[in-house]
Structure 1
Protein backbone atom coordinates (compact mmCIF):
# COMPACT_ATOMS: atom_id res chain seq x y z
CA UNK A 1 0.00 0.00 0.00
CA UNK A 2 1.36 3.42 -0.94
CA UNK A 3 2.04 6.22 1.52
CA UNK A 4 -0.80 8.29 0.01
CA UNK A 5 -3.51 5.62 0.02
CA UNK A 6 -6.90 7.23 0.56
CA UNK A 7 -5.68 10.77 -0.14
CA UNK A 8 -6.88 13.02 -2.96
CA UNK A 9 -4.58 15.49 -4.69
CA UNK A 10 -4.92 18.20 -7.33
CA UNK A 11 -1.90 18.92 -9.53
CA UNK A 12 -2.14 22.11 -11.57
CA UNK A 13 -0.04 22.16 -14.69
CA UNK A 14 -0.50 18.42 -14.32
CA UNK A 15 -0.32 17.41 -17.96
CA UNK A 16 3.20 18.48 -18.82
CA UNK A 17 6.77 18.31 -17.57
CA UNK A 18 7.07 18.26 -13.80
CA UNK A 19 3.30 17.98 -13.41
CA UNK A 20 3.03 14.79 -15.45
CA UNK A 21 5.77 13.07 -13.50
CA UNK A 22 4.23 14.18 -10.23
CA UNK A 23 0.76 12.92 -11.17
CA UNK A 24 2.17 9.52 -12.10
CA UNK A 25 4.15 9.23 -8.90
CA UNK A 26 1.28 10.35 -6.65
CA UNK A 27 -0.99 7.81 -8.32
CA UNK A 28 1.59 5.05 -7.80
CA UNK A 29 1.65 5.99 -4.11
CA UNK A 30 -2.10 5.43 -3.92
CA UNK A 31 -3.52 8.94 -4.24
CA UNK A 32 -6.53 9.79 -6.35
CA UNK A 33 -5.25 12.47 -8.72
CA UNK A 34 -6.94 15.42 -10.38
CA UNK A 35 -4.90 16.25 -13.48
CA UNK A 36 -5.61 19.96 -13.89
CA UNK A 37 -4.30 21.87 -16.89
CA UNK A 38 -5.24 24.11 -19.79
CA UNK A 39 -7.14 22.42 -22.64
CA UNK A 40 -4.16 22.61 -25.03
CA UNK A 41 -2.16 20.36 -22.69
CA UNK A 42 -4.81 17.61 -22.97
CA UNK A 43 -5.02 16.58 -19.29
CA UNK A 44 -7.60 13.92 -20.22
CA UNK A 45 -4.90 11.86 -21.95
CA UNK A 46 -2.88 11.52 -18.75
CA UNK A 47 -5.97 10.87 -16.64
CA UNK A 48 -6.94 8.10 -19.05
CA UNK A 49 -3.45 6.62 -18.85
CA UNK A 50 -3.64 6.49 -15.06
CA UNK A 51 -7.14 5.04 -15.12
CA UNK A 52 -6.08 2.34 -17.57
CA UNK A 53 -3.29 1.43 -15.15
CA UNK A 54 -5.88 0.80 -12.43
CA UNK A 55 -5.33 4.10 -10.62
CA UNK A 56 -7.88 6.76 -9.74
CA UNK A 57 -7.71 9.95 -11.76
CA UNK A 58 -9.85 12.57 -13.45
CA UNK A 59 -8.96 15.45 -15.74
CA UNK A 60 -10.05 19.05 -15.30
CA UNK A 61 -9.43 21.70 -17.92
CA UNK A 62 -8.71 24.93 -16.08
CA UNK A 63 -7.19 28.37 -16.50
CA UNK A 64 -6.01 29.05 -12.95
CA UNK A 65 -6.19 32.83 -13.46
CA UNK A 66 -10.00 32.49 -13.76
CA UNK A 67 -11.56 32.20 -10.30
CA UNK A 68 -14.75 30.51 -11.49
CA UNK A 69 -12.70 27.82 -13.22
CA UNK A 70 -10.54 27.27 -10.13
CA UNK A 71 -13.63 26.95 -7.97
CA UNK A 72 -14.98 24.42 -10.48
CA UNK A 73 -11.69 22.47 -10.32
CA UNK A 74 -11.97 22.05 -6.56
CA UNK A 75 -15.65 21.15 -6.85
CA UNK A 76 -14.80 18.49 -9.46
CA UNK A 77 -12.29 16.92 -7.06
CA UNK A 78 -14.87 16.82 -4.28
CA UNK A 79 -17.60 15.48 -6.55
CA UNK A 80 -15.35 12.71 -7.87
CA UNK A 81 -13.56 11.66 -4.70
CA UNK A 82 -15.37 13.23 -1.74
CA UNK A 83 -12.42 15.05 -0.19
CA UNK A 84 -9.23 17.02 -0.88
CA UNK A 85 -5.93 16.39 0.90
CA UNK A 86 -3.25 17.83 -1.35
CA UNK A 87 -2.69 20.65 -3.81
CA UNK A 88 0.45 20.84 -5.91
CA UNK A 89 0.27 24.42 -7.20
CA UNK A 90 2.57 23.79 -10.12
CA UNK A 91 1.04 25.66 -13.08
CA UNK A 92 2.99 28.62 -14.45
CA UNK A 93 3.07 30.87 -17.50
CA UNK A 94 6.11 29.10 -18.93
CA UNK A 95 5.16 30.13 -22.48
CA UNK A 96 6.33 33.65 -21.61
CA UNK A 97 9.87 32.67 -20.63
CA UNK A 98 11.17 32.73 -24.21
CA UNK A 99 10.56 36.49 -24.43
CA UNK A 100 11.27 37.28 -20.78
CA UNK A 101 14.48 39.28 -21.05
CA UNK A 102 15.99 42.42 -19.57
CA UNK A 103 13.80 44.41 -17.20
CA UNK A 104 13.97 47.48 -19.44
CA UNK A 105 12.87 45.46 -22.47
CA UNK A 106 10.07 43.49 -20.81
CA UNK A 107 6.59 44.49 -21.90
CA UNK A 108 4.02 45.40 -19.30
CA UNK A 109 1.59 42.93 -20.90
CA UNK A 110 4.00 40.02 -20.42
CA UNK A 111 4.74 40.98 -16.82
CA UNK A 112 1.05 41.29 -16.01
CA UNK A 113 0.23 37.96 -17.67
CA UNK A 114 3.00 36.24 -15.70
CA UNK A 115 1.65 37.80 -12.51
CA UNK A 116 -1.93 36.74 -13.28
CA UNK A 117 -0.95 33.09 -13.72
CA UNK A 118 2.03 32.59 -11.40
CA UNK A 119 0.82 34.69 -8.47
CA UNK A 120 -2.92 35.35 -8.77
CA UNK A 121 -3.57 31.86 -10.13
CA UNK A 122 -1.63 30.17 -7.33
CA UNK A 123 -3.43 32.33 -4.75
CA UNK A 124 -6.82 31.39 -6.24
CA UNK A 125 -5.96 27.70 -6.04
CA UNK A 126 -5.05 28.09 -2.37
CA UNK A 127 -8.11 30.23 -1.67
CA UNK A 128 -10.51 27.54 -2.87
CA UNK A 129 -8.55 24.43 -1.83
CA UNK A 130 -8.00 25.44 1.79
CA UNK A 131 -11.66 25.42 2.92
CA UNK A 132 -12.17 22.03 1.27
CA UNK A 133 -9.13 20.62 3.07
CA UNK A 134 -10.15 22.06 6.44
CA UNK A 135 -13.59 20.47 6.01
CA UNK A 136 -12.04 16.99 6.04
CA UNK A 137 -9.32 17.55 8.65
CA UNK A 138 -6.53 19.44 6.88
CA UNK A 139 -4.11 18.92 4.06
CA UNK A 140 -0.87 19.88 2.39
CA UNK A 141 -0.12 22.50 -0.26
CA UNK A 142 3.10 22.50 -2.24
CA UNK A 143 3.98 25.46 -4.43
CA UNK A 144 6.42 25.15 -7.31
CA UNK A 145 8.77 28.10 -7.31
CA UNK A 146 12.12 28.16 -9.13
CA UNK A 147 15.82 28.74 -8.71
CA UNK A 148 15.04 31.97 -10.61
CA UNK A 149 13.16 33.17 -7.52
CA UNK A 150 16.34 33.64 -5.50
CA UNK A 151 19.07 34.12 -8.13
CA UNK A 152 18.58 36.86 -10.70
CA UNK A 153 19.86 36.71 -14.27
CA UNK A 154 19.84 38.75 -17.46
CA UNK A 155 16.60 37.03 -18.45
CA UNK A 156 13.55 35.52 -16.69
CA UNK A 157 12.73 38.89 -15.13
CA UNK A 158 8.97 38.38 -14.86
CA UNK A 159 9.36 34.69 -14.12
CA UNK A 160 11.80 35.30 -11.27
CA UNK A 161 9.78 38.12 -9.71
CA UNK A 162 6.54 36.17 -9.77
CA UNK A 163 8.07 32.87 -8.66
CA UNK A 164 9.63 34.62 -5.68
CA UNK A 165 6.07 35.47 -4.63
CA UNK A 166 5.16 31.78 -4.46
CA UNK A 167 7.41 31.20 -1.46
CA UNK A 168 5.87 34.11 0.43
CA UNK A 169 2.39 32.89 -0.45
CA UNK A 170 3.16 29.43 0.97
CA UNK A 171 4.55 30.96 4.17
CA UNK A 172 1.38 33.04 4.45
CA UNK A 173 -0.79 29.95 4.06
CA UNK A 174 1.25 28.13 6.71
CA UNK A 175 1.00 31.08 9.11
CA UNK A 176 -2.70 31.75 8.67
CA UNK A 177 -4.00 28.17 8.43
CA UNK A 178 -1.38 25.94 10.04
CA UNK A 179 -3.31 25.65 13.29
CA UNK A 180 -6.29 24.39 11.26
CA UNK A 181 -4.28 21.51 9.83
CA UNK A 182 -2.99 23.07 6.62
CA UNK A 183 0.69 22.66 5.79
CA UNK A 184 2.30 24.70 3.01
CA UNK A 185 5.82 24.41 1.62
CA UNK A 186 7.67 25.49 -1.51
CA UNK A 187 9.88 23.55 -3.90
CA UNK A 188 12.56 25.41 -5.87
CA UNK A 189 13.56 23.22 -8.82
CA UNK A 190 16.77 23.67 -10.72
CA UNK A 191 17.16 22.13 -14.17
CA UNK A 192 14.68 19.26 -14.40
CA UNK A 193 14.85 17.15 -17.55
CA UNK A 194 11.57 16.40 -19.28
CA UNK A 195 10.16 16.66 -22.79
CA UNK A 196 9.76 20.43 -22.61
CA UNK A 197 13.46 21.08 -21.97
CA UNK A 198 15.18 18.40 -24.01
CA UNK A 199 15.59 20.83 -26.92
CA UNK A 200 17.77 23.23 -24.95
CA UNK A 201 21.18 23.99 -26.42
CA UNK A 202 24.24 21.96 -25.50
CA UNK A 203 26.10 25.11 -24.45
CA UNK A 204 23.44 25.83 -21.83
CA UNK A 205 23.46 22.25 -20.56
CA UNK A 206 27.26 22.43 -20.30
CA UNK A 207 27.00 25.48 -18.02
CA UNK A 208 24.46 23.79 -15.75
CA UNK A 209 26.41 20.52 -15.74
CA UNK A 210 29.48 22.38 -14.51
CA UNK A 211 27.54 23.70 -11.52
CA UNK A 212 25.42 20.79 -10.32
CA UNK A 213 26.97 18.51 -7.71
CA UNK A 214 25.34 15.30 -8.92
CA UNK A 215 26.40 13.00 -11.78
CA UNK A 216 23.12 13.53 -13.67
CA UNK A 217 20.42 16.16 -14.05
CA UNK A 218 17.18 15.79 -12.12
CA UNK A 219 13.99 14.45 -13.67
CA UNK A 220 10.29 14.81 -12.90
CA UNK A 221 10.47 12.04 -10.31
CA UNK A 222 12.99 14.18 -8.39
CA UNK A 223 10.17 16.64 -7.83
CA UNK A 224 7.29 14.16 -7.65
CA UNK A 225 8.92 12.12 -4.90
CA UNK A 226 9.32 15.24 -2.76
CA UNK A 227 5.72 16.29 -3.40
CA UNK A 228 4.58 12.80 -2.35
CA UNK A 229 6.60 13.09 0.85
CA UNK A 230 5.22 16.55 1.61
CA UNK A 231 1.68 15.24 1.07
CA UNK A 232 2.29 12.28 3.36
CA UNK A 233 1.89 12.09 7.12
CA UNK A 234 5.66 11.61 7.38
CA UNK A 235 6.04 15.35 6.68
CA UNK A 236 3.55 16.46 9.31
CA UNK A 237 6.10 18.72 11.06
CA UNK A 238 7.49 20.34 7.90
CA UNK A 239 5.87 23.73 7.54
CA UNK A 240 6.54 27.00 5.73
CA UNK A 241 9.81 25.86 4.17
CA UNK A 242 11.53 26.44 0.83
CA UNK A 243 13.29 23.30 -0.39
CA UNK A 244 15.77 23.36 -3.26
CA UNK A 245 15.82 20.45 -5.69
CA UNK A 246 18.67 21.61 -7.90
CA UNK A 247 21.48 19.08 -7.60
CA UNK A 248 23.37 21.47 -5.36
CA UNK A 249 23.68 24.08 -8.10
CA UNK A 250 23.69 26.96 -5.62
CA UNK A 251 25.49 25.22 -2.76
CA UNK A 252 29.04 26.13 -3.76
CA UNK A 253 31.30 29.10 -4.34
CA UNK A 254 31.50 30.83 -7.71
CA UNK A 255 34.95 29.46 -8.55
CA UNK A 256 33.80 25.84 -8.24
CA UNK A 257 32.65 25.56 -11.86
CA UNK A 258 35.91 27.03 -13.17
CA UNK A 259 37.95 24.41 -11.32
CA UNK A 260 36.09 21.36 -12.60
CA UNK A 261 37.28 19.15 -15.47
CA UNK A 262 34.76 18.97 -18.29
CA UNK A 263 32.08 16.44 -17.42
CA UNK A 264 30.55 13.91 -19.78
CA UNK A 265 27.49 13.12 -17.64
CA UNK A 266 24.04 13.90 -19.04
Structure 2
Protein backbone atom coordinates (compact mmCIF):
# COMPACT_ATOMS: atom_id res chain seq x y z
CA UNK A 1 0.00 0.00 0.00
CA UNK A 2 1.44 3.32 -1.12
CA UNK A 3 -0.02 5.45 1.70
CA UNK A 4 0.10 3.11 4.68
CA UNK A 5 0.17 5.11 7.90
CA UNK A 6 -0.35 8.46 6.15
CA UNK A 7 -2.99 11.01 7.11
CA UNK A 8 -4.77 12.92 4.33
CA UNK A 9 -7.34 15.67 3.97
CA UNK A 10 -9.42 15.82 0.78
CA UNK A 11 -11.52 18.95 0.28
CA UNK A 12 -14.59 18.60 -1.87
CA UNK A 13 -14.33 14.90 -1.08
CA UNK A 14 -17.99 13.92 -1.28
CA UNK A 15 -18.33 13.40 -5.03
CA UNK A 16 -16.53 13.38 -8.36
CA UNK A 17 -12.72 13.49 -8.34
CA UNK A 18 -12.67 14.10 -4.59
CA UNK A 19 -14.74 11.02 -3.80
CA UNK A 20 -12.68 8.84 -6.15
CA UNK A 21 -9.52 10.09 -4.43
CA UNK A 22 -10.87 9.43 -0.95
CA UNK A 23 -11.73 5.87 -1.93
CA UNK A 24 -8.31 5.30 -3.50
CA UNK A 25 -6.43 6.79 -0.53
CA UNK A 26 -8.34 4.50 1.84
CA UNK A 27 -7.56 1.52 -0.37
CA UNK A 28 -3.88 2.49 -0.24
CA UNK A 29 -3.84 2.54 3.56
CA UNK A 30 -4.29 6.20 4.48
CA UNK A 31 -6.49 7.66 7.18
CA UNK A 32 -8.62 10.22 5.33
CA UNK A 33 -10.59 13.27 6.40
CA UNK A 34 -13.32 14.39 4.00
CA UNK A 35 -13.86 18.16 4.10
CA UNK A 36 -17.03 19.33 2.38
CA UNK A 37 -20.23 21.32 2.85
CA UNK A 38 -22.22 18.32 1.56
CA UNK A 39 -23.37 16.37 4.60
CA UNK A 40 -23.46 13.19 2.50
CA UNK A 41 -19.77 13.12 3.36
CA UNK A 42 -20.74 11.68 6.75
CA UNK A 43 -22.43 8.72 5.05
CA UNK A 44 -19.43 8.17 2.77
CA UNK A 45 -17.00 8.32 5.70
CA UNK A 46 -19.01 5.73 7.60
CA UNK A 47 -19.06 3.44 4.57
CA UNK A 48 -15.29 3.68 4.07
CA UNK A 49 -14.10 3.49 7.66
CA UNK A 50 -12.43 0.18 8.43
CA UNK A 51 -9.47 -0.93 10.51
CA UNK A 52 -6.60 -0.17 10.09
CA UNK A 53 -7.61 2.80 7.91
CA UNK A 54 -10.17 5.32 9.09
CA UNK A 55 -12.30 7.90 7.31
CA UNK A 56 -13.74 10.97 9.01
CA UNK A 57 -16.07 13.71 7.74
CA UNK A 58 -15.67 17.31 8.92
CA UNK A 59 -18.13 19.84 7.54
CA UNK A 60 -15.95 22.66 6.21
CA UNK A 61 -16.36 25.90 4.31
CA UNK A 62 -12.99 26.04 2.53
CA UNK A 63 -13.30 29.81 2.04
CA UNK A 64 -13.34 30.30 5.81
CA UNK A 65 -9.97 30.52 7.54
CA UNK A 66 -11.50 29.53 10.88
CA UNK A 67 -13.25 26.50 9.36
CA UNK A 68 -10.05 25.32 7.69
CA UNK A 69 -8.01 25.88 10.83
CA UNK A 70 -10.54 23.81 12.79
CA UNK A 71 -10.35 21.12 10.08
CA UNK A 72 -6.57 20.84 10.29
CA UNK A 73 -6.48 21.06 14.08
CA UNK A 74 -9.11 18.32 14.43
CA UNK A 75 -7.26 16.13 11.94
CA UNK A 76 -3.98 16.49 13.81
CA UNK A 77 -5.72 15.98 17.15
CA UNK A 78 -7.29 12.70 16.01
CA UNK A 79 -4.47 11.25 13.91
CA UNK A 80 -1.38 13.00 15.30
CA UNK A 81 -0.22 14.62 12.06
CA UNK A 82 -1.10 15.72 8.52
CA UNK A 83 0.86 14.18 5.65
CA UNK A 84 -1.26 14.93 2.58
CA UNK A 85 -3.63 17.67 1.46
CA UNK A 86 -5.64 17.38 -1.76
CA UNK A 87 -7.12 20.86 -2.26
CA UNK A 88 -9.85 19.75 -4.62
CA UNK A 89 -12.94 21.82 -3.76
CA UNK A 90 -14.20 24.00 -6.60
CA UNK A 91 -17.16 25.10 -8.66
CA UNK A 92 -17.85 25.55 -12.37
CA UNK A 93 -18.73 28.80 -14.07
CA UNK A 94 -19.73 29.99 -17.54
CA UNK A 95 -20.03 33.70 -18.23
CA UNK A 96 -18.59 36.29 -20.58
CA UNK A 97 -16.82 39.12 -18.77
CA UNK A 98 -19.30 41.81 -19.87
CA UNK A 99 -22.19 39.68 -18.59
CA UNK A 100 -20.65 38.67 -15.27
CA UNK A 101 -21.38 40.48 -12.02
CA UNK A 102 -18.55 41.39 -9.70
CA UNK A 103 -20.24 39.30 -7.00
CA UNK A 104 -20.23 36.21 -9.23
CA UNK A 105 -16.59 36.84 -10.17
CA UNK A 106 -15.63 37.10 -6.49
CA UNK A 107 -17.51 33.92 -5.56
CA UNK A 108 -15.59 31.86 -8.13
CA UNK A 109 -12.25 33.41 -7.13
CA UNK A 110 -13.00 32.79 -3.45
CA UNK A 111 -13.86 29.11 -3.93
CA UNK A 112 -11.47 28.16 -6.75
CA UNK A 113 -8.39 30.18 -5.79
CA UNK A 114 -8.53 31.82 -2.37
CA UNK A 115 -9.62 28.56 -0.73
CA UNK A 116 -6.58 26.86 -2.23
CA UNK A 117 -4.35 29.45 -0.58
CA UNK A 118 -6.16 29.12 2.75
CA UNK A 119 -6.00 25.32 2.84
CA UNK A 120 -2.39 25.27 1.61
CA UNK A 121 -1.30 27.89 4.16
CA UNK A 122 -2.82 26.11 7.14
CA UNK A 123 -1.69 22.67 5.97
CA UNK A 124 1.85 24.02 5.53
CA UNK A 125 1.82 25.30 9.12
CA UNK A 126 0.98 21.76 10.32
CA UNK A 127 3.51 20.13 8.00
CA UNK A 128 6.27 22.46 9.19
CA UNK A 129 5.62 21.14 12.69
CA UNK A 130 5.71 17.48 11.64
CA UNK A 131 8.61 17.63 9.19
CA UNK A 132 7.03 17.62 5.74
CA UNK A 133 4.24 16.37 3.54
CA UNK A 134 2.66 16.50 0.12
CA UNK A 135 0.14 19.06 -1.10
CA UNK A 136 -1.77 18.49 -4.33
CA UNK A 137 -3.92 21.28 -5.73
CA UNK A 138 -6.64 20.70 -8.29
CA UNK A 139 -5.90 22.86 -11.29
CA UNK A 140 -7.36 22.39 -14.76
CA UNK A 141 -6.60 22.57 -18.44
CA UNK A 142 -7.66 26.18 -17.80
CA UNK A 143 -4.42 26.59 -15.84
CA UNK A 144 -2.75 26.52 -19.28
CA UNK A 145 -5.26 27.70 -21.91
CA UNK A 146 -8.17 30.06 -22.29
CA UNK A 147 -11.66 29.05 -23.31
CA UNK A 148 -14.81 30.99 -24.15
CA UNK A 149 -17.12 31.86 -21.27
CA UNK A 150 -15.05 30.66 -18.32
CA UNK A 151 -13.78 34.07 -17.30
CA UNK A 152 -13.35 33.77 -13.54
CA UNK A 153 -12.59 30.06 -13.51
CA UNK A 154 -9.77 30.46 -16.03
CA UNK A 155 -8.31 33.28 -13.94
CA UNK A 156 -8.60 31.20 -10.78
CA UNK A 157 -7.05 28.06 -12.27
CA UNK A 158 -4.19 30.06 -13.76
CA UNK A 159 -3.63 31.43 -10.29
CA UNK A 160 -3.63 27.91 -8.82
CA UNK A 161 -0.82 26.90 -11.17
CA UNK A 162 1.45 29.79 -10.22
CA UNK A 163 0.55 29.60 -6.53
CA UNK A 164 1.57 25.93 -6.70
CA UNK A 165 4.95 26.80 -8.22
CA UNK A 166 5.58 29.57 -5.71
CA UNK A 167 4.74 27.53 -2.62
CA UNK A 168 6.78 24.63 -4.01
CA UNK A 169 10.00 26.62 -4.26
CA UNK A 170 9.40 28.23 -0.88
CA UNK A 171 8.88 25.02 1.08
CA UNK A 172 10.82 22.29 -0.75
CA UNK A 173 13.69 22.72 1.71
CA UNK A 174 11.24 21.93 4.53
CA UNK A 175 10.28 18.59 3.02
CA UNK A 176 6.94 19.87 1.76
CA UNK A 177 6.21 19.03 -1.87
CA UNK A 178 3.56 21.16 -3.60
CA UNK A 179 2.20 20.15 -6.99
CA UNK A 180 -1.07 20.24 -8.89
CA UNK A 181 -3.00 17.97 -11.20
CA UNK A 182 -4.67 19.66 -14.14
CA UNK A 183 -7.52 17.49 -15.44
CA UNK A 184 -9.31 17.64 -18.71
CA UNK A 185 -13.08 17.54 -18.55
CA UNK A 186 -14.14 14.70 -16.27
CA UNK A 187 -17.40 12.80 -15.77
CA UNK A 188 -18.32 14.43 -12.48
CA UNK A 189 -21.86 15.51 -11.53
CA UNK A 190 -21.12 19.05 -12.78
CA UNK A 191 -20.62 17.61 -16.28
CA UNK A 192 -23.00 14.65 -16.33
CA UNK A 193 -25.91 16.93 -15.42
CA UNK A 194 -25.42 18.88 -18.67
CA UNK A 195 -27.32 18.18 -21.93
CA UNK A 196 -25.90 15.45 -24.18
CA UNK A 197 -25.10 17.98 -26.91
CA UNK A 198 -22.93 19.96 -24.49
CA UNK A 199 -21.08 16.83 -23.39
CA UNK A 200 -20.50 15.78 -27.01
CA UNK A 201 -18.88 19.16 -27.72
CA UNK A 202 -16.54 18.65 -24.79
CA UNK A 203 -15.63 15.16 -26.00
CA UNK A 204 -14.72 16.58 -29.41
CA UNK A 205 -12.04 18.74 -27.74
CA UNK A 206 -10.21 15.68 -26.34
CA UNK A 207 -8.11 13.72 -28.86
CA UNK A 208 -8.61 10.57 -26.79
CA UNK A 209 -12.26 10.71 -27.86
CA UNK A 210 -13.89 10.67 -24.42
CA UNK A 211 -13.98 12.46 -21.10
CA UNK A 212 -12.01 11.27 -18.08
CA UNK A 213 -13.36 9.01 -15.39
CA UNK A 214 -12.84 10.44 -11.87
CA UNK A 215 -10.76 7.38 -10.99
CA UNK A 216 -8.25 8.24 -13.72
CA UNK A 217 -7.64 11.64 -12.16
CA UNK A 218 -7.46 10.10 -8.69
CA UNK A 219 -4.62 7.86 -9.90
CA UNK A 220 -2.59 10.98 -10.72
CA UNK A 221 -3.36 12.45 -7.30
CA UNK A 222 -2.13 9.23 -5.68
CA UNK A 223 1.13 9.47 -7.61
CA UNK A 224 1.74 12.99 -6.29
CA UNK A 225 0.70 12.04 -2.76
CA UNK A 226 2.99 9.02 -2.58
CA UNK A 227 6.75 8.60 -2.43
CA UNK A 228 6.65 7.57 -6.10
CA UNK A 229 6.81 11.31 -6.84
CA UNK A 230 9.53 12.12 -4.32
CA UNK A 231 11.47 14.28 -6.83
CA UNK A 232 8.40 16.04 -8.28
CA UNK A 233 8.17 19.59 -6.96
CA UNK A 234 6.25 22.57 -8.36
CA UNK A 235 4.75 20.64 -11.27
CA UNK A 236 1.31 21.23 -12.75
CA UNK A 237 0.66 17.82 -14.28
CA UNK A 238 -1.82 17.65 -17.15
CA UNK A 239 -4.17 14.67 -17.14
CA UNK A 240 -6.27 15.84 -20.05
CA UNK A 241 -6.63 13.23 -22.77
CA UNK A 242 -4.61 15.44 -25.13
CA UNK A 243 -6.79 18.55 -24.71
CA UNK A 244 -3.87 20.98 -24.50
CA UNK A 245 -1.67 19.10 -27.00
CA UNK A 246 -3.67 20.32 -30.00
TM-score where L is the length of structure 2? 0.94
- CA-to-aligned-CA distance 1:4-54 (integer Å, 9 cap, x gap): 00111100111121111110011111111010001x353211111111587
For residues 161 and 99 of structure 2, what CA distance do their matches in structure 1 show? 26
Whether the aligned pair in 2 keeps the contact of 1:16 and 1:41 (CA below 8 Å) is no
Tell me how far 1:86 sits from its aligned partner: 0.5
DSSP 3-state at the match of 1:36: strand
Q: SS of the residue aligned with 1:59?
A: strand
| Equivalent residue for 2:75, pick from 77, 87, 94 | 77
Number of the residue aligned with 1:86? 84
Alignment coverage as a number of residue pairs: 246
Q: In structure 2, what is the Cα distance between the partners aligned to 1:73 and 1:241?
A: 26
Matches of 2:113 and 2:181, distance apart in 1: 15
Residue number in structure 1 paired with 2:208: 214
Q: Which runs of 5+ in 2 are unaligned?
A: none
Map residues 162-181 of structure 1 onto 2, 5 A cutoff.
Answer: 162-181=156-175
TM-score, reference length from structure 1: 0.88
Match in the other structure for 1:6: 5
Match of 1:32 in 2: 31
1:199 Cα offset (Å):
2.4
Listed as ranges, the gaps of 5+ residues in structure 1 are 253-266
Are the equivalent residues in 2 in contact too, given 1:30–1:55 (CA < 8 A)? Answer: yes
Distance 1:221 1:156 in 2: 25
Change (3 A) 1:91 1:3: same
- The superposition leaves residues 176-211 of structure 1 with CA deviations (integer Å, 9 ceiling, x where unpaired) of 111000101111111111333222222223223333
Aligned-partner Cα distance in 2 for 1:116–1:67: 12
In structure 2, distance between residues paired with 1:90 and 1:227: 10
Give, in whole Å, the separation in 1 of the partners of 2:87 and 2:135: 7
**What are the superposed Cα offsets for residues 88-135 of structure 1, whole Å, 9 maximum, x if unpaired?**
0111133xx2xx311111100011111222222111111110121122
Q: Stretches of 4+ moved more than 4 A in 1?
A: none
- Structure with higher Rg: it is 1
Aligned to 1:43: 41
Cα deviation for residue 71 of structure 1 reads 0.3
Report the Cα distance in structure 2 between the residues aligned to 1:153 and 1:197, rounded to whole angstroms: 16
Match of 1:230 among 221, 224, 237: 224
Structure 2 distance, partners of 1:117, 1:208, is: 23
User: 1:26·1:228 contact (CA, 8 Å) conserved in 2?
Assistant: yes
Q: Tell me the distance in 1 between the aligned counterparts of 2:97 and 2:75.
A: 39
